[in-house]
Chain A
Amino acid sequence: MCVLHGAVVLITELCERNPETLERFRKTVPDLVQIMKGLVISGYSPEHDVAGISDPFLQVRILRLLRILGRNNETASDAMNDLLAQVATNTDSTKTVGNAVLYETVLTVLDIKSESGLRVLAVNILGRFLLNNDRNIRYIAMISLQKIVGTDHNAVQRHRGTIVDCLKDQDASVKRRALDLSLALVSASNIRSMMKELLIFLSSCPPELRSQAASGIFNAAERYAPSQRWHIDTILHVLTTAGGDVRDETVPNLIQLITNASELHCYTVHKLYRALLTDISQPSLVQVACWCIGEYGDLLLRGECQDTEPVQVTEDDVLDALETVLQSHMSSPATRGFALTATMKLSTRITDNVDRIRSIVSIYGSCIDVELQQRAVEYNALFKKYDHMRYAEAFSKSGELFLLFQLSPHVGTFPQVCDLLDLLGGAEETPQLSPAVSGLAPGLPINTLSTAGGDLLDLLGGLEPAPAAPAPTVPAYEKDGVTLTLSCEKTSDSGLTVTLTASNSTDSDISSFTLQAAVPKSVQLHMKAPSGDALPARGAAKVTQMVILNNPNKDTVQIDSFP
């Protein structure tokens, strides 16, 4: 008996590793079947017996060998069909031993080319295992069903109820298997009920399974979502329960989804706002909520919405919520960035509290985090640009004059070159501002209010038809005695030289006079050294500076001055 066992083990190993031996040993199948029959039918043999089954070890090994020999082979599979049916029906399944033999039989049946009746028998055995009280047996059943869920999907679907019940089992291993199997069983027809169960599971599942469950739910929702609103609801629910464990790309995916569901913007922003009020600890949820509020804040403030109960939200409430996010130490820097951008976007959508927004934004101009600081300074500068009315300190405070030229392709609300003077006192602000402003041009697209349009003063366009024509001189800036003129000259097909001339007509000298310029990314800028940096009084001398612009894309460019 044990010699037989040893031989069977050896043959199994050989056949697993070498396909030639596999061929050779195929002819032993009838012998093996014979031996197995003997074992199953034979009488009681006390020394080899375990709980009524004679030599289960040998039985299982023979079944395993038969599995390997019968795989992909019709004749061998036919020879063992009867035997397998006999073993499956005769084996006593009250004890673990019997179940062990049945388990091996089922695995063999499912692996060889068995007839359909036998397969049905095997799946029924697995179904019976699922209903067994013993956790081990249920675990085994779920592992086996996982193997065949791809091929015999319908057969496994019949047991969906039991599998979903196993999600609620207290044992971690059983839960894991049930989760894998449930996710594999999700289909278009049962998505709603399955998702309900999966969401209940997510709220009570052990932490190591959370991220797997969350990503599985997202995949299932993406593939089988019956409606967009359901999809958004589901994702929001997952974010509120397990927001910390989802992957990073869910935030942009969700944002894209919300953008596409245009009729649900009102509903979405209300729900997200409410979620934000209750809990700001989940980073993904907070990020999406901030983005949504920033983007669709006007819908939120309008108050009513067809799908949710109307609630009056004031601008102060919304700003309070965003400020809480900004100041909370649970927020990561990325989350704070989202909140700051949302606050800024709201400045164009609300009317009363612009000052409050401005103060929030300027506070963060001196924040430690570089990203936030840069954003805040850029937004600050945006404020100044839009605000015609804002006059800054008196001219002679520090003797420094900053004039920044912004070449921007699409700031359409300014049909002419603006006269804005803003004296910046304090040298420490200057290094921050210039990179900020040069970063503004690509940053401007955030502000979706301005539309590129025919309002552009097209200086370069006017030059093109007459390349040899004398360059127009434009008084760019004239205030408080300082005059600045721009004269442009087209030097090549895509190049332009701008000469800036400054003169001073006041009674006092201006020293440390510098000019800076910023251009959008498609244009290259090269500033030559100025002729000097002091403007003596009463126009005694002028300071000139040449700026060479290269515009390879031939974008129409607007030149405006900028404080």
Chain B
Amino acid sequence: MIRFLLLFSRQGKLRLQKWFTAYTDREKKKVIRDMIMLVLARQPRSCNFIQWRDLKIVYKRYASLYFCAGLEASDNELLSLEVLHRYVELLDRYFGNVCELDIIFNFEKAYFILDEFLMGGEVLETSKTAVAASMQETDTLQETMEEYMSKPAY
């Protein structure tokens, strides 16, 4: 099971955080600090797995963002690399050539996609098209900016 998923930039700014177990705020902050320190200190061509306390940390760098997942001891690390890759593909498919700015400005959409893909620390939906379809449905239910601006204000 994945315990947490963090996205942070090369400057150490946190862009996304998803916690699949209950941590107190203090613990969360500590984990974030430790992860950023650990991952940013790694050499460019080094191994993607780190042993940290009792968890395995799997991280992958995509352009300027680091995707970092904390796994339990029984999980398959190579598969988690695939999970991270699949998530990036989903983002890419939704935003069209995703970059860090897309995630910064539309972070709620990023979280929606993540929730469609992972649940309770496990992969929920293995089909790319199914995730895309459900995102499309939610979008139709949302108002666009123009509709919002043109609503009469009673």
Interface of A toward B, CB cutoff 8 Å: 1-2, 5-6, 9, 47-48, 50, 55-58, 60, 64, 96-97, 99-100, 103-104, 107, 135-140, 170-174, 176
> CB < 8 Å: which of B81, B82, B126 contacts A5?
B126
Assess whether B81 is in contact with A96, with CB atoms less than 8 Å apart: yes
Q: Given A6-B124, A135-B45 in contact, is the A97-B50 Cβ separation under 8 Å?
A: no
Nearest B-chain residue to A176, judged by Cβ: B51
A170 to B81, CA, bound (A): 22
Assess whether A57 is in contact with B82, with CB atoms less than 8 Å apart: yes
List 9 A-B residue pairs with CB atoms under 8 Å apart, sorted by A's residue number.
A5-B123, A48-B127, A57-B83, A57-B123, A64-B74, A135-B48, A136-B47, A140-B78, A172-B46
Assess whether A173 is in contact with B49, with CB atoms less than 8 Å apart: yes
Assess whether B78 is in contact with A103, with CB atoms less than 8 Å apart: yes
A171 to B127, CA, bound (A): 35
Chain A nearest CB, measured from B122 CB (Å): 5
> CB < 8 Å: which of A2, A58, A107, A173 contacts B130?
A2
Nearest B-chain residue to A5, judged by Cβ: B126
Q: Does B86 contact A (CB under 8 A)?
A: yes
A205 to B127, CA, bound (A): 45
Assess whether B46 is in contact with A171, with CB atoms less than 8 Å apart: yes
Chain B nearest CB, measured from A107 CB (Å): 8
Q: Kindly list the 7 A-B residue pairs having the minimum CB-CB distance in the complex, ordered from nearest.
A: A100-B78, A171-B46, A135-B47, A47-B129, A47-B127, A100-B79, A173-B47
Assess whether B126 is in contact with A57, with CB atoms less than 8 Å apart: yes
> CB < 8 Å: which of B48, B76, B86 contacts A103?
B76
> CB < 8 Å: which of B78, B122, B124, B130 contacts A96?
B78
Nearest B-chain residue to A16, judged by Cβ: B74
Chain A nearest CB, measured from B131 CB (Å): 10
Assess whether B126 is in contact with A171, with CB atoms less than 8 Å apart: no
Contact bitstring B96-132, A, C-beta under 8 A = 1, else 0: 0000000000000000000000000011111111100
Chain A nearest CB, measured from B112 CB (Å): 17
Q: Which residues of A contact B81 (CB under 8 A)?
A: 96, 100, 136
> CB < 8 Å: which of A60, A64, A171 contacts B47?
A171
Q: Given A171-B43, A173-B50 in contact, is the A47-B82 Cβ separation under 8 Å?
A: no
Nearest A-chain residue to B45, judged by Cβ: A135
- B interface bracket (residues with beta carbon within 8 Å of A): 20 to 34
A96 to B129, CA, bound (A): 22
Known pairs A172-B46, A173-B47; list 4 more (Cβ under 8 Å).
Answer: A1-B127, A5-B123, A96-B82, A139-B49
Q: Which residues of A contact B76 (CB under 8 A)?
A: 60, 64, 100, 103-104, 107
A173 to B42, CA, bound (A): 10
Chain B nearest CB, measured from A31 CB (Å): 19
Assess whether A2 is in contact with B49, with CB atoms less than 8 Å apart: no
Interface of B toward A, CB cutoff 8 Å: 43, 45-51, 74, 76-79, 81-83, 86, 122-130
A55 to B79, CA, bound (A): 11
Assess whether A99 is in contact with B78, with CB atoms less than 8 Å apart: yes
Q: Which residues of A contact B127 (CB under 8 A)?
A: 1-2, 47-48
A412 to B83, CA, bound (A): 82
> CB < 8 Å: which of A47, A137, A172, A176 contacts B128?
A47
Nearest B-chain residue to A68, judged by Cβ: B74
Chain B nearest CB, measured from A422 CB (Å): 65
Assess whether B126 is in contact with A58, with CB atoms less than 8 Å apart: yes
Assess whether A1 is in contact with B82, with CB atoms less than 8 Å apart: no
Chain A nearest CB, measured from B87 CB (Å): 12
Assess whether B79 is in contact with A104, with CB atoms less than 8 Å apart: yes
Q: Which residues of A contact B83 (CB under 8 A)?
A: 57
Assess whether B126 is in contact with A139, with CB atoms less than 8 Å apart: no
A137 to B43, CA, bound (A): 17
Assess whether B46 is in contact with A173, with CB atoms less than 8 Å apart: yes
A488 to B58, CA, bound (A): 84
Q: Which residues of B contact A47 (CB under 8 A)?
A: 127-130
Assess whether B47 is in contact with A48, with CB atoms less than 8 Å apart: no
Nearest B-chain residue to A98, judged by Cβ: B78
Q: Which residues of A contact B79 (CB under 8 A)?
A: 56-57, 60, 100, 104
Nearest A-chain residue to B122, judged by Cβ: A9
Q: Which residues of B contact A174 (CB under 8 A)?
A: 47
Chain B nearest CB, measured from A189 CB (Å): 31
Assess whether B49 is in contact with A136, with CB atoms less than 8 Å apart: yes
Q: Which residues of A contact B46 (CB under 8 A)?
A: 135, 170-173
A57 to B83, CA, bound (A): 8
Chain A nearest CB, measured from B52 CB (Å): 11
Chain B nearest CB, measured from A510 CB (Å): 75
Assess whether A50 is in contact with B122, with CB atoms less than 8 Å apart: no
Assess whether A139 is in contact with B47, with CB atoms less than 8 Å apart: yes
Chain B nearest CB, measured from A180 CB (Å): 11
Assess whether B126 is in contact with A136, with CB atoms less than 8 Å apart: no
A96 to B49, CA, bound (A): 14
